Amino acid sequence: MAETTARVLEQRPPLPPFTHDSALEKVRLAEDGWNTRDPAKVALAYSVDSRWRNRAEFATGRAEIVAFLARKWTRELDYRLIKELWAVAGNRIAVRFASEWHDDSGSWYRSYGNENWEFADDGLMRLRLASINDLPIAESQREYHWPLGRRPDDHPGLSELGL
């Protein structure tokens, strides 16, 4: 019984196989999580043995994911992110995204990327492959002006912003 309860607690709906609508929900939940900038909270969406490739950095397991995210958000200040569904099939989702952030010298960037996700049956992500490019931008070119945290529902997405 305890094992069954633990498995249920580890589930992260929506679960695969994904429909277009459930994939949209999964993408928004991921965006919302990352916009908390809370490494421990974000890592709970990944399986305990999840594997990542993020640019040229590799991480395996939640502890490495937490360490990676802590380093990321120490460098990428005032980080805001928008994700958009690109494609879905079975237990896989492809997204494109753009984030805006500045470094400790006040230089602003927009990071563009694509991610390929693969999920286990429990809805936890077991594989994340990310390709990302950083574009220096002037502060006046920023498009993300909501308060830190979750993007408001009425804020335009990537397509609406022309990104």
7 domain residue, yes or no = no
Backbone angles phi, psi at 95, to 5 degrees: -130, 160
2 domain residue, yes or no = no
8 domain residue, yes or no = no
Q: What's 31's domain CATH number?
A: 3.10.450.50
Nearest-angstrom CA–CA distance, 134 and 130: 13
Nearest-angstrom CA–CA distance, 104 and 76: 8
Q: Report the run of H or E that residue 137 belongs to, with start and end.
A: strand 125-137
Domain count of the fold of the chain: 1
94 domain residue, yes or no = yes
Name the residue range of residue 73's domain: 14-161
Q: Is 8 helix (H, G, I), strand (E, B) or coil?
A: helix
**Confidence at residue 152, expressed as pLDDT on a 0 to 100 scale:** 98
9 domain residue, yes or no = no
**Confidence at residue 120, expressed as pLDDT on a 0 to 100 scale:** 98
**Confidence at residue 94, expressed as pLDDT on a 0 to 100 scale:** 99
Q: Which two tokens stand for residue 71?
A: 């380093």
Consecutive 10-residue runs of the chain (163 residues): their mean pLDDT?
A: 51 97 98 98 97 96 98 98 98 98 98 98 98 98 98 98 97
**Confidence at residue 10, expressed as pLDDT on a 0 to 100 scale:** 79
The answer to whether the CB of 116 falls within 8 A of the CB of 94 is: yes
Q: Is 149 helix (H, G, I), strand (E, B) or coil?
A: coil
50 domain residue, yes or no = yes
Q: Is the peptide bond before 14 cis (omega within 30 degrees of 0)?
A: yes
104 domain residue, yes or no = yes
